[in-house]
Structure 1
Amino acid sequence: MVAKNARANGEEFKALFEYGERGSYFGNTREDISIPKSSVGQASTNSGFDSYHRESGVVQLFFPRGAPESVRTKFPLVYLCTPIHGFTFRRWTEIMQPSLINFLTSHGYAVVVPSSIGERGSSNEVLGAIMPNLDSQANGVSLEEVAKRYLNFTVASFTYLTNEFFGSESKKKNDNNNNYVPGESALDTVRRNYRTRVYTLYSRVDVESAALIGFSVGGAIAAYSGSILKSRNQMNLRISFLLAPTIGERPGAARKVGLELWNLYSSGLHNNPNVIVTGSADGMGGLSSSRAFYFEAEKLEALLVEIRFATHCHFPVVMSECNLLNIQEDIGGVRAFDLALANAAFRYYLRGDQKAGELISLQRGVDSFKSPTSVWDRVH
């Protein structure tokens, strides 16, 4: 009904939903990228929210398939923060949120998603996957440590990818790929050419125009990470898009660590423009937390959109408010609105689409893109 009514009422809504149509790129190529731990001399173990050392881990990169190499299009980088409850990072990516990833890559965005944090297979590896109202992962890593390391890893891996890996790494590897290697088998040639093509695509990731997006706990992680990155002069981060961000103010396992993060960062959330989408019937923390980000966070520049009657079910998630008997009815219109608004926001802030800039504030003007507590002099 959200999508249907929006298309029927008002030219601005019709125009907005044009950004919700699937893009021209078909499918995506997925690659695992290893994130190395910090170099010698830097902290090698976690010591708190403010260390931001780089812990080793893995992220998955999804970039548009079907982009001809003759057209040197750049793909703006979008870093997706998934929730940590119920499923592993990979399961969120591959089963719960592939529609979001596929939509973004179809519009020419390169999407990065955390896959694991810490040494592969170790007893303290962070994979997400904390069941609701439990205090730890299956391997015993506590919720507090998971959230702390997740935040640190997001900041550190985003910095590593945008400052070091893309471009310089691809150039180094391309330099080692010649057109012919004496004695090489046909299969090895095919493999080498594939790697060359992949690294060529790596060089087309636009690290000068990057965004964060996150859902639920991932939305809060995206907000805090954006603020930290901005404080560290990471100027290529242009926007954060928060879907029903939760700070853990409800009773339950997330309460302590959620409020601890909020108390640490709410006064400094002046990172970059934030778009916040939530539902008026969200009973899992998304509504109250979104309002907290909008009304209580100091210096925050934000657009808050509350969808009437929508719940926390922006994705078909078991153990949530989703109507599992009729998933499409429950999330169809909300998801359509999420995708359209996200694409419009990214088109404006990452690509300079002025029409999209007008639409994301629903024709009230981009200057309205500020929360009541914002002390920003102008919209960036």
Structure 2
Amino acid sequence: MMSPPSRPGEPPEPTLLRQRWLALRQSQPRTRIRDAADQLGVSEAQLLATGVGENAVRLELRFDVLLPRMESLGRVMSLTRNAHAVHEKRGTWRNVELHGARALVLDEDIDLRLFLSRWCFGFALRESLADGLRRSLQFFDATGTAVHKVFLEDGGGTAAFDALVEELTHAEQSAELPVEAPAPVKAPRPDGDVDVEGLRAGWCGLQDTHDFFTLLQRFDVARTQALRLAGQELTTAVAPESLTWVLERVAGSGQPIMVFVGNPGAIQIHTGPVHTVRPTGPWMNVLDSGFNLHLRADHIHTAWVVRKPTRDGVVTSLELFDAAGENIALLFGKRKPGQPELPEWRALMAELAAALPVREVMP
């Protein structure tokens, strides 16, 4: 019996939605689930939930159980993305710290900052692929947008995966998932309403890069607005091509860097060198054995060399943003708290600011 069609403006009934997804996968086998969800007019989590009872299990988000047990899964690929960039790291979850609604994973390979209040849905997947069964844990926010995914790469973690899924199986195993509409992006205040001198003074008084977000909140200023208003001694607007320029140079020199990609629920960090830098169409890619980056270079609307004073000296970053002012990625020289910035990285950022400056950035 055919499922009834959905009403206009509502998600399709799950059985019909799954049929449409399977048909789409057959006609476009290389289409990723996020893109398929966009084509079908639903969230990624809603599309994934149509597999509940087949290849998907909804999980309880009991972080005190879940996060410490991630190490038992062995070697995994951890994936964090936003609308424009995908950041993949391979390694083992170790040194997990849970602090209420926040968590840290502090391993040399898997380095994460997790904002758990944003995690609303969790699923375990067992997907049959040409090369075998792929197991993963996938987590989504209230809108059904992915915040983090973990894919098993070590067959030795299979039993631990199965035990964890059994323990955390949610009582609700419906193929229909209620999600919230995305909140509208808040428009920045007019420049004339910003206390620019106070902002600059607070910026120059920073002691830690982590205090920068608090500074923006204190002066109620959008990040790209602050970068534009701060002045040449603190920021330099550079061309969107700066990402390729930097990656090609650090790949050639072996200089270790830090690459941050995040969303409201997770930030993932690569620390170390990059080796294989390869553009493919609009994508700029890093294709190394332990680290992959896929970033839509054509979506970079503004790029900035940013200088932040700290107790360890000035810390310099390359910051990339989309047309709405949302951050795509941040690049730093390799460093740890208590250590000064590498002079090679600071010199590279100075060279970039001189080579690819943008003279005027419109609000």
Q: Please give the range of the TM-score, normalised by the shorter of the 2 chains.
A: under 0.3
User: Normalization by structure 2: what TM-score?
Assistant: 0.27
Structure with max Cα Rg: 2
Bigger share in helix: 1
Bigger share in strand: 2
User: Normalization by structure 1: what TM-score?
Assistant: 0.27
